[in-house]
Structure 1
């Protein structure tokens, strides 16, 4: 099989390239050539979708599967699709659950409405860009494109830093603010399992939209933090606190305490998407403990969360240590008795 990876040096792109190489595929990556060299055996084409003649390197060549993680201008996604349409077998676009139109219901399915988006747009917010790119690709390729609406992606190489923040925090030891309830269901996918699903889907030529994430409740927040304790071997103490008290203190779910979205919160749907189709397609997800342990091993090797390939720097995730300490002190003072 011949893979064209549009990108290929970032989190999902890098995992997809590695998976394809493990399968013995011929791999070509197309990117700006500014974020590290590709693995040995990978052919690199250099170009920039947003510059005049930036697609020249893609003018020739044929591929069985294209995987694209683009989150920029929808117009650029459509231009690439039109250029490649006659020379590819199937197109797999890594989209996002963020495309769903608010208010998003818990248990959201692929049939629920998405945000209004222009396939010819050159700017917009993240949901509009992803939804616009979906429209642009479908207009050109129809059922020859799979719209893989990924959920929370964890695993080695994570360049946002959600799981790395928890691992690093627990590795520091002492008392850790643990947001309750401990049995809160968590929904995520290991990047390596996502990569395998993307390539399997391209090979099978699946089309349409699909929520690609593990089952909600296959792990809990308590199990996630316990796995972090096991992986790091840290002498940390989890201080479980009711979500109402944490929210009252001004803590923002997902951002201040990564991955955590409490019950009944307006963002709770992010952790409770319907994944019937993905599992019917054969999605397989590894145990949480493996994802956590492998992420810790990777993080110790690289030293810090890498910058995001080709994207502006993001604000750091997670509570500042001084703010966490102040919160713990306040919560202890408010505790009855």
Structure 2
């Protein structure tokens, strides 16, 4: 008998790739959302669409009754109240998997480990917020709700991805760097190029959700990220290889950037203190990540087929040219 998966979300980025992964592994799949975004599975008779608002408990209950899912993947639980409702409504499913975040960790250490690195605290005001500043605390509180639910017998688990990249990424964070590599011969990288912000390929996040649903332990969380980490400079070089081109990486320190009105943090995917997640716990379930060159090649091809350019994150090429002129005189 075919197992049924209900994906809360399911049409954008992580949710979309999760649906594809589940289909590839023989699941009958239903997606539950408000229908505000284009449904890439509208013509796929293997995917059932249930329209509703995940904030409305009656809608969630109706989706459960109509689909009768074996597993539930929750891609769009952004506030603790969302998780609280879900672990109650889906208390009797074989597995409920909540997407938390590496941002849930409340202490900077290398690497961050499940069950060892403390999570963020979350105030009632943060729990009800939708600000960027409260994102980590809200995700951490969702984790704690999952842990409590498991103590009450719910087969609830969570995964904590780091920065996610890959096809269909509407955040366009990696697209900024792909655009730079494909457009210019010289690419400005802040600092000495060795900073590390752990990243996770979206298809690997999708497979992790399924693997945790199938083999995970209730009440546990699992970090998700590329098994091979690269520095920011190495990422730019990996993009260049995937794009079959070459670029000169130019390092710019704080002084040179400041002369052009820039700061290192103006460059997306730069992080002063390394953010690294230990992924051994997930690997012990039999999960593995996609080789980095393969993941980047797919990401570059998807970028070329899209109208994305990462311009939202652009610090300004004129300012970068000023930095290059300064560095050329040194």
Per the normalisation by structure 1, the TM-score is 0.83
Match in the other structure for 1:222: 233
Change (3 A) 1:72 1:246: same
C-alpha contact 2:182 2:245 (8 A) present in aligned 1: yes
Match in the other structure for 1:48: 53
Change (3 A) 1:94 1:67: same
Separation in structure 2 between the aligned mates of residue 5 and residue 54 of structure 1, nearest angstrom: 14
Question: SS of the counterpart of 2:49?
Answer: strand
Match in the other structure for 1:259: 269
Question: SS of the counterpart of 1:27?
Answer: strand
Q: Compute the RMSD of aligned alpha carbons.
A: 2.7
- Give the CA deviation at 1:136: 2.7
Separation in structure 2 between the aligned mates of residue 119 and residue 83 of structure 1, nearest angstrom: 23
Match in the other structure for 2:324: 328
Of residues 226, 249, 255, the one that matches 1:238 is: 249
2:109 paired with 1:105: yes
Separation in structure 1 between the aligned mates of residue 266 and residue 6 of structure 2, nearest angstrom: 37
Match in the other structure for 1:316: 312
Change (3 A) 1:184 1:232: same
Match in the other structure for 2:280: 276
Separation in structure 1 between the aligned mates of residue 207 and residue 277 of structure 2, nearest angstrom: 20
Q: What is the aligned residue count? A: 316
Match in the other structure for 2:31: 29
- Give the CA deviation at 1:7: 0.3
Q: Deviations over 1:281-304 (max 9, x none)?
A: 223112221111111111111221
Match in the other structure for 1:194: 205
Separation in structure 1 between the aligned mates of residue 278 and residue 74 of structure 2, nearest angstrom: 23
- After TM superposition, the structure 1 = structure 2 runs for residues 86-165 of structure 1, keeping only pairs within 5 Å, are 86=92, 88-101=93-106, 103-110=107-114, 111-117=116-122, 121-123=127-129, 125-142=134-151, 144-165=155-176
Question: SS of the counterpart of 1:225?
Answer: helix
Structure 2 residue ranges without an equivalent (≥5): none
Q: Deviations over 1:214-258 (max 9, x none)?
A: 24x5434333212222233346432234577558876454x5222
Per the normalisation by structure 2, the TM-score is 0.85
Structure 1 residue ranges without an equivalent (≥5): 307-314
Change (3 A) 1:17 1:248: farther
Change (3 A) 1:252 1:198: farther
- Give the CA deviation at 1:182: 4.7
Change (3 A) 1:301 1:287: same
**Which is worse superposed, 238-247 or 106-115?**
238-247
